[in-house]
Chain A
Amino acid sequence: MDTVTLIQTLLNSVVASSIYALVAVGLALAFGVMKMANFAHGEFFMVGAYCVYVLYALVGLPFPLAVILAIPIVALFGLVAERLIFRPTRKNILAGFMATAGLAFILQVLAGQIWGVGIAKSIPTPYMGAADVGDATIGWQRLIVIPCAFAMLLALRFFLYRVKLGKALRACAQDPEIAALQGIRTNRMTALAMALAGASAGLAGALMAPIHSVTPYMGHGVILIAFVVVIVGGMASIEGAILAAVILGFIHTFVTTVTDNLIATMVGVGFMALTLIVRPQGLLGRERA
């Protein structure tokens, strides 16, 4: 691998890591609070991408506005999923998880019926041109993902550690009963966690819309990687999810550059299997998956 390819691949790795981190953080956050495991998380990503398709490519809003609007829309999906699925099935983690598999089916069919199944939606690239980094070039559209993801993750961190509501959310994740004794409303916290999960998945989907091919089934590949990241990071650990996202983002991009995408996915899953054998609780997790 020569220097140009190396720099290129490094940059692509950072982009991939940012997206993985955005997607996986939501999954880990929701799992941390009341063990809400969302199988439709990949479909939230898909909805985020479709938001950009509708608002930017069809309606003609500016791209940044479309991306910003996608965040609350998908957060709303998260809220609805919490209220209609996770709250009634709180006693049983698997029931909620399988029910969201049903939700994934529903969202796929709706997207397919409203906007068509066939070929991927073409979204005109909002930021043409490429940046020169050393001898390598990388499209602005890809590069822009990095600061957006950083901003979202930093905002999330600020919220969780500095804002009272965020601290309440973490308290609820540590021990729902004791948090409830302190006057924290558990139901609000689960709703908040799912809204945040939806928001981050929606942002990731919205940012990827011009790069990724937008189809009703695009969530499938995303959810697989997100699960692998979350297991490697340690189920409920947000920091673990980010660390694992960086590791897997680099592994995936480098293996893709050397061979192809399929083998990269296999290597990722193999890495997960290895992590489970060597360290079942994940890199930064406390309890076993």
Chain B
Amino acid sequence: MSAPEEVANTGLASATALRRFAPLLLLAAVLAVLCVLGFELRPYHRELAIVFFINVIMVTSYRLITTTGDWSFAHVVLMGAGSYGAALIAKHAGLPFGVVVPMAGITAAIVGAAFIIPLLRTAGFGFFIASFAMGELVRLIWVKVQFPFGGTRGIINIPSPEIVGLRLSPPVPFYFTCFIVMLAAVFIMWRLDRSRIGNAWKSIHSDDLLAECVGIDVARYRSLAFITGAFFAGIAGALLAYRMGSIDPRNFDLTTMIYLIIWVVVGGTTTFWGPIVGLVVVTIAFEWSRPLLEWRPLMFGGVLIFFLIFLPGGLESLFPKVGNALRTPPGQQFQRLRTWFTTFASRT
């Protein structure tokens, strides 16, 4: 190693340390802010935050399924299975919150396990539309069957959540309940993503034949991803049922599913955090667009098309570019911008 390089390396030592700990620091800061916000937010914004936490579980579990390359269109219905499971168990069995939530997850996982049997026979596009049809089937059952699902009116008067005599229904405790459940769910999914199982899922996405050749049971791992995703969607569904106090089939319709896809597409699915970034950005945009209520689906439909065509990697694909831009001197940046423009002009 030559002398100037050594000098540069020692100078960079603190920088690498910073780079290693920066994500952790950022995470701690975000968590701290969210804890403070739990007390400080106005009621309306607190409600938004609770929905946001539930949606974080949804996008993260959805991304977990997409790591195998399967894009499901039934995820919101699986969430609904969790909601219906939670509502029925809480109402008729009178079990406490701490038992109902995991049982809701298991309910959704069982429904997911039933879905995956025919769905395993399909891949890619076929998986997408077959899962759409299967989800619709379950949703129609909720619409049709009066007992115990309550038909179109759904289930009302879901008991308020309680844990060892502690009432969780007031806004502030419920905020923290959702916050903690979300943290636990996201942490487990993050560990899964990093584990051997997570790598097996990703290998199926990149090349399923090769994955099979090195001894990965593709069908089993695909089922595992789908059922795990369904479990967490069910947990999110249980939280939703407790928050709203009543649920009906319209909560889990196609529109909600398309919004879930918009969150994930805007964020990108290659990294673990991408979908959450997409959710944050779209949620903020969604709130801003409140005055244009009727035009909203049109706007977000446009956003979806825009991202799929012009930024297929989602917002996460911009992170490295932004990082590079911050590190390169302005002169070089100008050069890069010029080459980008010329390639863009030649492409169109």
Contacts and interface: CB of A to CB of B under 8 A. Distances in A.
Interface of A: 31, 35, 37, 84-85, 88-89, 92-99, 101-106, 108-110, 112-113, 117, 220, 224, 227-228, 230-231, 235, 262-263, 265-266, 269-270, 272-274, 276-277, 280, 288-289
Contact of B125 (A97, A106, A112, A117): A97
Contacts of B294: 109, 112-113, 117
B118 A105 contact: no
A262 B305 contact: no
Given A99-B305, A262-B143, A289-B122, A269 B133 contact: yes
A102 B300 contact: yes
A286 B301 CA distance: 34
B68 to A, nearest CB: 13
Contacts of B133: 224, 227-228, 231, 269, 272-273
B222 to A, nearest CB: 14
Interface in B101-157: 117-119, 121-126, 128-130, 132-134, 136-137, 140-141, 143-144
Of all A-B residue pairs in the complex, the 4 with the closest CB atoms, nearest first, are A289-B126, A105-B301, A102-B304, A102-B301
B284 to A, nearest CB: 19
B129 A227 contact: yes
A85 B132 CA distance: 21
Given A92-B312, A288-B121, A101 B298 contact: no
A198 B201 CA distance: 38
Contacts of B262: 102
B86 interface: no
Interface of B: 71, 117-119, 121-126, 128-130, 132-134, 136-137, 140-141, 143-144, 254, 258, 261-262, 265, 294-298, 300-305, 308-309, 312
27 contacts: A35-B125, A37-B128, A95-B308, A97-B128, A101-B304, A102-B300, A102-B302, A102-B305, A102-B308, A105-B258, A106-B298, A109-B294, A109-B297, A110-B298, A224-B136, A227-B132, A230-B129, A231-B126, A235-B126, A262-B140, A262-B143, A266-B141, A269-B136, A273-B133, A273-B134, A276-B119, A288-B126
A23 to B, nearest CB: 14
B261 A98 contact: yes
A115 to B, nearest CB: 13
A73 to B, nearest CB: 20
B122 A94 contact: no
B125 A101 contact: no
A102 B265 CA distance: 12
Contacts of B117: 277
Nearest to A92: B312
